[in-house]
Amino acid sequence: MTWHRGVEIKSERELSGMRRAGRVNALALAAAVDLARPGVTTAEIDAAAAAVLRQHGAEPAFLNYPGPYPYPAVTTVSVNDELVHGIPGPRRLAEGDIVSIDCGAVVDGFVGDSALTVGVGRISAEAQSLIDVTLGSLQAGIAEMRPGRRTGDVSAAIQAYVEGHGFSVTREYTGHGVGRHMHEDPQVPNYGVAGKGVVLRPGLTIALEPMVLAGGPETHVLDDAWTVVSRDGRLTAHFEHTVAVTAGGPMILTALEESMLEGRPAWYTEYFAGLLRTPVERASWAEGARKA
φ and ψ of 110, to 5 deg: -110, 145
Residue 265 CB partners (closer than 8 Å, separation 6+): none
Q: Which of 49, 50, 115, 142 binds Mg ion (CB under 5 A)?
A: 115
Closest approach of Cβ 174 to Mg ion, in Å? 9
Closest approach of Cβ 32 to Mg ion, in Å? 13
- Site for Mg ion contains 102 (CB under 5 A): yes
| CB of 101 closer than 8 Å to CB of 45 | yes
Q: Which of 46, 113, 153, 184 binds Mg ion (CB under 5 A)?
A: 113
Q: In the 8-state DSSP scheme, what is residue 5?
A: B
Q: Which stretch binds Mg ion (CB under 5 A): 80-88, 124-132, 165-173, 232-240?
A: 232-240
Q: Which is nearer to Mg ion, 14 or 102 (CB)?
A: 102
Site for Mg ion (CB under 5 A): how many residues? 6
- Site for Mg ion contains 28 (CB under 5 A): no
Question: Is the torsion defined by CA of 201, 206, 212, 217 positive or negative?
Answer: negative
Closest approach of Cβ 281 to Mg ion, in Å? 25
Q: Which stretch binds Mg ion (CB under 5 A): 49-57, 187-195, 221-229, 233-241?
A: 233-241
Structure-derived torsion over alpha carbons of residues 153, 155, 160, 165, reported in degrees to the nearest 10: 150
Return the SS3 of 239. Answer: coil
For residue 106, which of 18, 187, 32 has the smallest C-alpha distance? Answer: 18
Closest approach of Cβ 283 to Mg ion, in Å? 19
- Site for Mg ion contains 97 (CB under 5 A): no
Q: Tell me the sheet residues that pair with 176.
A: 187, 207
Strand duo 211-213 + 184-188: pairing:
unpaired
Q: Which stretch binds Mg ion (CB under 5 A): 109-117, 188-196, 251-259, 283-291?
A: 109-117
φ and ψ of 244, to 5 deg: -100, 140
φ and ψ of 184, to 5 deg: -120, 170
Q: Which is nearer to Mg ion, 168 or 174 (CB)?
A: 174
Closest approach of Cβ 277 to Mg ion, in Å? 22
Q: Which stretch binds Mg ion (CB under 5 A): 7-15, 66-74, 84-92, 107-115?
A: 107-115
Q: Which stretch binds Mg ion (CB under 5 A): 89-97, 120-128, 161-169, 238-246?
A: 238-246
| CB of 61 closer than 8 Å to CB of 104 | yes
Cα distance between residue 229 and residue 118, in whole Å: 17
Compose the 189-218 pattern: x for residues touching Mg ion by CB under 5 A, - for all others.
------------------x-x---------
Sites of contact with Mg ion (CB under 5 A): 102, 113, 115, 207, 209, 240
